A and B are shown apart, each in its own frame.
Chain A
Amino acid sequence: MPLVEVSGLTKVFRVPEREAGMRAATRSLFRRQWREVRAVDGISFAIEPGEVVGFLGPNGAGKTTTLKMLSGLLYPTGGELRVLGHVPSGREREYLRRMTLVMGNRNQLQWDLPALDSFELNRAIYRLPRDDFARTRDELIDLLDIGDLVRKPVRQLSLGERMKVEVVGSLLHLPQVLFLDEPTIGLDVTMQKRIRAFVADYNARYGATVLLTSHYMADVEALCRRVIVIHHGQLLFDGALAALTHRFAPQKTIEAVLADGETIRLSVPKEEASAATARLLAEHEVLDLTVEEPPIEDVIERVFASGAPA
């Protein structure tokens, strides 16, 4: 039984349209012109419990909108959507207790007080029995190694430290579904790795389902075995990351430095890569040879550029 069932999900925004300038501004006081924006246009997919799925797409693709609909913040214009058997936009208490939404760069903890105090508040909000809460809290603090951070006022923490305590705060009620919106945005490389490792640990330990959006390929590569690519509100690809590479960039790059100083770069289909390499080595004197997969970023760009649904 899939945890998340999405079918024909659509979200249309009506945006007021206005040109610059005095006259247009005055006119807009009397007659508003509206434009329809199809942020999400008929997306369908299903996610099983325990999966870690990455939503990839350029800015404005519709992935954050999709995530907001999945979490219940936005209600869809069309289509069907169920998470944990609930309709998210109904925001039933039972649903809200089983999920959590973490948005990069947004604080939900008390600014002036140590994180531990905010954790207490969350304990009361989610009605967690004290001993269970204490155990979970200590486990999570240990997992992210923030023991000394939780006693300092949140405003005194750096951006990365703040993200860590925010994440712990949002997991105290042991949600079964995690929605992470750009969780590593603005963080340095070490911190990004730390957060990724933590999410993977949490998924392994508690069997939670994780849906995350990111435009850092590294996030997706590290965490997600399954990727959903969204562009212009439409689903371009849904499947394993490896399959993505295979479908959209089924080539390898061979770079060879020859004895006469020339450098050759060849792009060959994957199946023929070894044969091509062998021929190259046989027919020329090669000083240095590299065989590479195309960078994932290029693959993704290619996917976006193609724009055609999978």
Chain B
Amino acid sequence: MSATGAAAGRLERREGRVRSLADYYATTMRTTIQRNFQYRAATYGYTIGMVAEPTIYLVVWSTIARGEGGSIGGLDPGHFAAYYIVWTLVRIMNITFTPYGWEWRIREGQLSGWLLKPIHPIHYDIAWFAGQKLPWLVMYVPIGVGLSLAFHPVFHTSPLSVVVFLVAIWGAYLVRSIGLWLLGMCTFWTTRGSAIFETYLLAELLLSGRLLPLQLMPHWSQTLAAVLPFKWTFYFPIEALIGGYSTGTLLRGLGFQLLWIAAGALTVKVFWRVSVRHYSAVGN
């Protein structure tokens, strides 16, 4: 039958692996941008809630600095303003798929669908949220401008630091995405995924520079932060832009991000196989 023959011919032709992965990322990102334009109002509402967090920190620490003679730990209100305004940008960049999303996905029965597609679902999640960055960044511009006018940031920036910053924010995105994907896989094993996630958020708040620049944290937590991946999701990209780092420090930081991405990816690969096996014993 000619149709079957033609179909058989179509069956055999596939695109190459690398090209198709890039194609997949491009397609997914395009899809999510389209979707985001539909939900503008909701995104604005979410953004206002999100900006409240750094604004509060900014005001609190600046007030303390002013009360303590202009600066604490060598950081003055100008530096705090710069830190938290860039924080907002970095925060937008590191929003990613959370264990809550995993729970929803399993509950709705969509995970089974993903297990039967010839592509690892992590690519979808990373591409999806990566695509979202573009409309969000467009929204960030007026917010960034507004905050700058209100709080007078002081930047110590060089051309190299800008370049490193632009790379580092994507590095931060990947470090956090892979880390949260690992946490998300815990939902295969337990229904208490949200508790694990909230504990993670606590650790992140204290050890990533999300709450305040790490220089102001007690020494023991600075040591801890140095060996954990959190610092590379907030503190490093922010300080890369505004902290006046040396070239060596900047490049070393990028190296650390790469290290954590590689370690995370390897762990995902191993843990995924085990988790899917466990899930396939029971299924949904």
Contacts and interface: CB of A to CB of B under 8 A. Distances in A.
Interface of A: 13, 68, 71-75, 89, 91, 93, 96-101, 103, 106-108, 110, 112-113, 117, 120-121, 123-129, 132, 135-136, 174, 176, 205-207
B271 to A, nearest CB: 16
Interface stretch (B31-39, B47-55, B240-248, B257-265): B31-39
Contacts, number: 102
Interface in B114-134: 115-119
B267 interface: no
Given A106-B110, A127-B14, A127-B15, A206 B35 contact: no
B10 A136 contact: yes
A120 B277 contact: no
B116 A120 contact: no
A103 B110 CA distance: 11
A113 B35 contact: yes
B280 A74 contact: yes
Given A13-B282, A71-B116, A73-B112, A128 B14 contact: yes
A93 B31 contact: no
Given A73-B280, A97-B14, A206-B3, 14 more contacts: A72-B115, A91-B116, A96-B118, A106-B113, A107-B110, A110-B35, A117-B34, A124-B27, A125-B119, A127-B118, A132-B10, A136-B7, A205-B4, A207-B1
Determine the main DSSP class of B at the interface with A: helix
8 contacts: A74-B280, A97-B118, A101-B116, A113-B31, A117-B31, A117-B34, A120-B31, A126-B118
A93 B24 contact: no
A124 B282 contact: no
Interface string B14-44: 1101001001101110010011001100000
A127 B10 CA distance: 12
B63 to A, nearest CB: 43
Interface in B188-247: none
B36 to A, nearest CB: 10
A68 B11 contact: no
A91 B113 CA distance: 12
Contacts of B282: 13, 74
Given A73-B280, A110-B31, A174 B10 contact: yes
A91 B115 contact: yes
Interface in B93-121: 108-110, 112-113, 115-119
A205 B23 contact: no
Contacts of A117: 31, 34
Contacts of A73: 112, 115-116, 280, 283
Nearest to B23: A124
B116 A72 contact: yes
A295 to B, nearest CB: 33
A108 B110 contact: yes
Given A110-B31, A117-B31, A132-B13, A103 B109 contact: yes
Nearest to A97: B118
Contacts of A132: 10, 13
A127 to B, nearest CB: 4
Given A125-B117, A132-B13, A207-B4, A74 B23 contact: no
A98 B39 CA distance: 36
